[in-house]
Amino acid sequence: MRKVLALTLLSVLAACSAGEEAPKGRGIDCATGGSEKFVPECFVEDSQVGERRFLTVRNKNGAFRRFEMVNDGRGVVAADGADEAVAKWSAEGVLEVAVGKDRYRFPARMKSDAPQP
């Protein structure tokens, strides 16, 4: 009986530890995999390497994209991968970035000398 109880307890603990951990960072809206609808299911973390600043965006399924922040009015560019990031500013002050079939909305502030949309 003790062996059965111990095995049951171990299997319950293993199931708890096997659960997926939620991504860390600030929540942002995203539309991934070609979805038309934006949902608040992505998380962004800031990092810096030397003078370069990066944003890593993760979604709940574990996929991620990394962007480099730039000061030329574009906002961000793709830091990794073969797909190019296309960024556009909305009238509401949101930077919408598309890479492949994924789109992300970053709350941001446009530089006063940046090209206007």
Find the domain containing 46 and state its range. 22-107
Which positions ≥6 away from 71 have C-beta within 8 Å?
111
In a domain, 15, yes or no: no
- 64-69 and 52-59 strand pairing: antiparallel
In a domain, 45, yes or no: yes
Per the structure block, which two tokens stand in for 64?
Answer: 């991620």
Number of domains, the chain: 1
Bigger pLDDT: 75 vs 32? 32
Give residue-wise pLDDT tens across range 33-78: 999 999 999 999 999 999 999 999 998 888 999 999 998 878 899 9
Give residue-wise pLDDT tens across range 81-104: 888 999 998 877 899 999 999 999
Q: Is 104 left (phi over 0), alpha (psi -120 to 50) or beta?
A: beta
In a domain, 47, yes or no: yes
In a domain, 6, yes or no: no
**Phi, psi for residue 29 in degrees, rounded to 5:** -80, 140
In a domain, 88, yes or no: yes
In a domain, 5, yes or no: no
